[in-house]
Amino acid sequence: HARSAVEKGIKFLKTKEEVPNGKPYWLVWVTIDRREEGPYYAGVTACEMTVDRSIRRGYKSLPEHVNFMDKSMKRKIVVSHMDDVSKKVL
């Protein structure tokens, strides 16, 4: 996994409170598998992060991101913690 365009140039801090004016983003892990009928979404998980481009700072929990990536790779679908608007966009 490389840094996304949103993450590039951002220093991530340890607490969300250090980025009070940050814009919320969802990083979504998608695992695609294949069966006889063709490819399908086998796993989907989402991790929240906050970015304030004006101060080039953000917040994300790396252990949380790793755990959600692992769950996606294990063919789990975990999006229940997302808000309804974000789920609809997804």
pLDDT tens column, 50-72: 999 999 999 999 999 999 999 99
DSSP 69: H
- Residue 3's pLDDT is what? 82
Stretches in the chain below the pLDDT threshold 70: 1
- Residue 1's pLDDT is what? 58
- Residue 22's pLDDT is what? 94
- Residue 33's pLDDT is what? 97
- Residue 88's pLDDT is what? 94
